[in-house]
Amino acid sequence: MCNEGKRIWNGKRMNPHYQNLVQRLEEISHLNGVMSTLGWDQEVMMPPGAADARAKQIAPLAGVIHERMTDPGLGDCLNELAVVGYAGFAAAEQCNIREALRSYELETKVPKRLVQELAELSSRGHGIWVAARQKNKFADFAPVLQRFLHLRKEWAQHVLPGLDPYDANIDLFERGTTMSMITPVFERLKTELIPLIQAIQNQADQPDTSFLQGRFALDKQEALARRISREIGFDFEQGRMDVSVHPFCGGSHPTDVRITTRYSERNFIESLYAVIHETGHALYEQGRPYELGDLPVSESLTMGIHESQSLFWERMIAQSKPFCQHYFATIRAAFPENLQPVTVDSFYRAINVCKPDFIRVEADEVTYPLHIILRYEIEKGLFDGSIPVDDLPLIWNELTRKYLGINPPDDAHGVLQDSHWSSGAFGYFPSYTLGAMYACQFYRTLLNERPDTEQNVAKGNFAPVKNWLNEKIHHQGRLYTPQQLVEHVTGEPLNPDYFIDYLKGKYRAIYQLA
Ligand code: ZN
């Protein structure tokens, strides 16, 4: 499909409206690259004193991008192409037209008043959320949440009037995914994972994690992280690794991908696995088919698919026994005082410890989905009106007890822990667990197609894994919807059984459960 796209690309008979569209879309992509570099700079390099000046630089740039995206000329161009019809275009070109139309509609169907109020509430809401979390007082944040709920429902009516308002919000992050698909899958996860977690908690023989605490020299941590990131495939010629408060993957282009991490002297696992996670995101970005142009077709697909790539490397590969077998000697050599008496097996058990905790971002792979399901059920209830905003702390704590068997001590460890709602991002959370399930299903397919994968990983030969992901997922850009991609790669739609079987098999062995 890609080749077909390219041929027409370089051909002489390009439709003039399409040519016009390509110019406009590439310009928008380049402006977004500038914005993205500024964003990276702000998190990594910028002196704190420059915050005001930077805000003044970003605002007009955001304005220019918005103007380009909502330019009536772009609308005319799309109308002309609608008259011609899709049939004469190659798949990659059809993808560009389809994606341009979607983003144009998302940008232009919403009244200016609503766009402005959403933007204003996002910036004000964040400050209110930070202060409420510090004071442990949900009531201070409740009016922001209430207003966001109202605005996001209104937004949904404008952009996707045919969908339930919560489905429309989910669609923004995970295109084509609806509650009717998520709810039964999450119900199955609950049925299987809650008893598994209870059995793990009841097991007397818990993994020893004491050797993961101590002092771990920062320069050794960084050297190790860089080495592993490079060996699993991150291209430092077209990317960088730096330090920021929260790890992320950014950059301006597949040839300029920037990951970050943070180091703590007392915990090297956290930063190492953050680097592996972000490397997974980065490999997706570096693998995008930009030879098709800086156009929608060469962009990454959705939040859920992106997360499937980071979790693929973090969990399916780096938390596996073969990976530990390959790297443990290197890791022990970096921290001999801490790890001298430790075996590969006890290291593997320690990095896979399962323990319910209050904070989502610190959760292990077994308990994590329940953090997501709890948030999903609350968002669903907020949108259908069955959960009043004021009851959120009570409901949050009740569900945490029910799903994880623990009781949040305060709102900061409960309903106020995540920043998502402070910017009105409803429908984002399910992407994390969809990503985890996609990662598992992709990995299962890889094992079927390349049965020597685990032996390769144990030898530190990661190229076959990376090449497989490049070919099956990264190079596909946006040619498929997430649902189509999963079917195309694995031969079936999202199937939670792979994730459940993986978790049950792995953790029954680690915890020696019957
Ligand atoms: Zn991620």
From ligand 1's centre to the CA of 303, what distance in Å?
A: 9
Average pLDDT value for residue range 132-156:
96
Taking Cα atoms as reference points, which of 282, 251, 289, 305 lies closest to residue 95?
A: 289
Average pLDDT over residues 395-399: 98
Kindly give the distance from the C-alpha atom of residue 362 to the centroid of ligand 1, in angstroms, as a whole number: 13
Q: In the structure, what pLDDT confidence band is assigned to residue 51 with cuts at 50, 70 and 90?
A: confident
Instruction: Give the sign of the dihedral formed by CA 104, CA 106, CA 107, CA 110.
Output: positive
Q: Which amino acid, 177?
A: T
Task: Indicate the average pLDDT of the chain.
Answer: 95
The burial class, CB within 10 Å (0-12 / 13-18 / 19+), for 147 is middle
Please determine, for residue 7, whether its predicted confidence score (pLDDT) is greater than 80: no
Q: Is the pLDDT of residue 353 over 70?
A: yes
C-alpha–C-alpha distance, residues 209 and 352, integer Å: 10
Nearest to 472 by CA among 503, 439, 432: 439
In whole angstroms, give the CA distance from residue 254 to residue 251. Answer: 8
Q: State yes or no: pLDDT of 6 exceeds 90.
A: no
pLDDT digits (tens, 9 = 90+) for 24-48: 999 999 999 999 999 999 999 999 8
User: Residue 9's pLDDT is what?
Assistant: 46
- Closest alpha carbon to 426 in 470, 389, 378, 388: 378
pLDDT at position 8 over 70: no
Whether 362 sits among the annotated catalytic residues: the reply is no
pLDDT band at 5, cuts 50/70/90? very low
Tell me the average pLDDT across 317-328.
98
**Structure tokens of 276?**
């592996």
Predicted local distance difference test score (pLDDT) of residue 242: 97
* Nearest CA-CA partner of 170 in 497, 386, 432: 432
User: From the CA of 7, how far away is ligand 1's center (Å)?
Assistant: 35
At 223 the three-state DSSP class reads helix
Contact call for residues 355 and 100 (beta carbons, < 8 A): no
More confident residue, 6 or 459: 459
Q: What is the pLDDT of residue 96?
A: 97
The answer on pLDDT for 380 being more than 90 is: yes
Are the beta carbons of 48 and 319 closer than 8 angstroms?
no
SS3 148: helix
How many A from CA of 183 to the centre of ligand 1? 22
Q: pLDDT tens, 224-234?
A: 999 999 999 99
Q: What is the mean pLDDT of residues 290-308?
A: 97
CA of 391 to the centre of ligand 1 (A): 30
Partners of 258 in beta bridges: 240, 250
pLDDT of residue 473: 98
Distance 228 CA to ligand 1 centre (A): 18
pLDDT higher than threshold 50 for residue 3: no
* Ligand 1: centre distance to CA 37 (Å): 19
Nearest to residue 502, comparing CAs of 445, 464, 457, 429?
445
Distance in angstroms (rounded) separating the CA atoms of residues 410 and 397: 9
Task: Report pLDDT digits (tens) over 98-141.
Answer: 999 999 999 999 998 998 899 889 888 988 999 999 999 999 99
What's the pTM? 0.94
Give the pLDDT confidence score for residue 13 in this predicted structure.
67
Q: Is the pLDDT of residue 247 over 80?
A: yes
Residue 461's alpha-carbon distances to 149, 230, 318, 465, 466, in angstroms, are 48, 12, 13, 8, 10
- What's the mean pLDDT in 205-220? 95
Q: Name the active-site residue from 174, 278, 299, 314.
A: 278
